[in-house]
Amino acid sequence: MALFDKIRGEFVDIVEWLDESNDTMVYRFERYGNEIKYGAKLVVRESQVAVFVNKGQIGDVFSPGMYTLETQNLPILSTLMGWKHGFHSPFKAEVYFVSVRQFTDLKWGTKNPIMLRDAEFGPVRLRAFGSYVIRVKDAPKFIREIAGTDGHFTTDEISNQLRNMILTRFTDLLAESKIAVLDLAANYDEFSQFASEKLGSEFEEYGLEVTKFLVENISLPEAVEKALDKRSSMGVIGNLGAYSQFQAANAMEAAANNPGTTGGGMGMGMGVGMGVAMAGQVGQVMNSPAPPNQQAAAPPIPQAASFFVAVNGQQTGPYDAGALAQQAASGSLTAQSMVWQQGMAQWTQAGQVPQLARLFAPPPPPPPPPA
């Protein structure tokens, strides 16, 4: 049986690879002694590239299609092996099939929080995670730089290195953006695009291409998120006084609808006590001063009546009642003086204005002599 396998391995007629996995990037075609029969068929399927390697040197690269392995189809390998006049016997070469399809749903995420300075919250720690998609862009370069002689190279063998590169560049991008923490969610698309562009050149050094980069979440520590939730709840509640009244009223209603079940009168007494306590709470809430923006405005303080006085055709004043009484006593204001105040239709003699007529009343007669 072993002899049969050896003979069958020396004369391989078809060189191909059927990928049944979801993570294999490079597969080396295995056969006895690396011998391939002259005239064998090479089958390269879509999403594959076949790379021939001889004595550590990369030779011919085949894109999707079916090929007959002859001298004319292997110009580089023929030069490396010195086939000047052709050959008709089995030859030795390693064949690596490289998958050039897109490898999706590769994960990235921060192992430790990213320390940043936020304009609103000050120093904060952020965690971020997402996914990305890659594919092999340059198969020979990928074999030289990454896969080497690995006969079965998978995404797990390079994911850690790629993740470290992503985190380094993404952290720098996040810090340079100076976007407020509460506005980060509105910029996920922009972060994804910028990160993809920034990582492109570094991935190309490995023969890879980033076809998609996604930021799924940037989050604060759990304690900070709980504090933000409380702050949001306070904003939703709004008027705390009205909310307290509503809560107290609901508690009273629940107590009234749930009579005591222990000891008859004792249960009733406990219910009455709870009702009195709830009523006291409601009374305190009702008697508590209303917020400044809800207090009733006090009426304006009444102002003393004042008048303007016409003197030699010129308007003077306004004068309050005390000043007008002094003018009347000195004689500068008479009953014929023209006066006016807000609300009057026209200038009027002071003696005809009820508020001022008393200033010009005759003095009372002298008191009678004592009896």
Residue 367 phi, psi (nearest 5): -65, 150
Spatial distance between the Cα atoms of 266 and 256, rounded to a whole number of angstroms: 15
- Higher-confidence position of 326 and 203: 203
Range with top average pLDDT, 145-154, 280-289, 326-335? 145-154
User: For 45-61, what is each residue's pLDDT tens digit?
Assistant: 999 999 999 888 898 99
Q: What are the residue boundaries of the structural domains of the chain, listed by start?
A: 2-99, 103-224, 305-344
Residue 2 confidence class, pLDDT cut points 50, 70, 90 = low
In this predicted structure, which of 41-55, 204-218, 261-275, 323-337 has the lowest mean pLDDT? 261-275
Spatial distance between the Cα atoms of 208 and 187, rounded to a whole number of angstroms: 26
Burial 19-30 (b: 16+ CB within 10 A, else e): eeeeebbbbbbe
Strand 57-62, strand 65-68: pairing: unpaired
DSSP 17-43: -----SSEEEEEPP-GGGEE-TT-EEE
Note the CATH number of domain 103-224: 3.30.479.30
Question: Tokens for 345?
Answer: 């239709």
In this predicted structure, which of 81-95, 171-185, 195-209 has the lowest mean pLDDT? 81-95
Spatial distance between the Cα atoms of 240 and 246, rounded to a whole number of angstroms: 10
Spatial distance between the Cα atoms of 266 and 247, rounded to a whole number of angstroms: 26
In this predicted structure, which of 157-166, 210-219, 260-269, 294-303 has the lowest mean pLDDT? 260-269
Strand partners, 132: 106, 213
Dihedral over Cα of 351, 355, 360, 365: its sign: positive
User: For 16-35, what is each residue's pLDDT tens digit?
Assistant: 999 888 899 999 998 777 78
Taking CA atoms, 27 is separated from 36, 202, 206, in Å, by 17, 24, 17
- Higher-confidence position of 171 and 368: 171
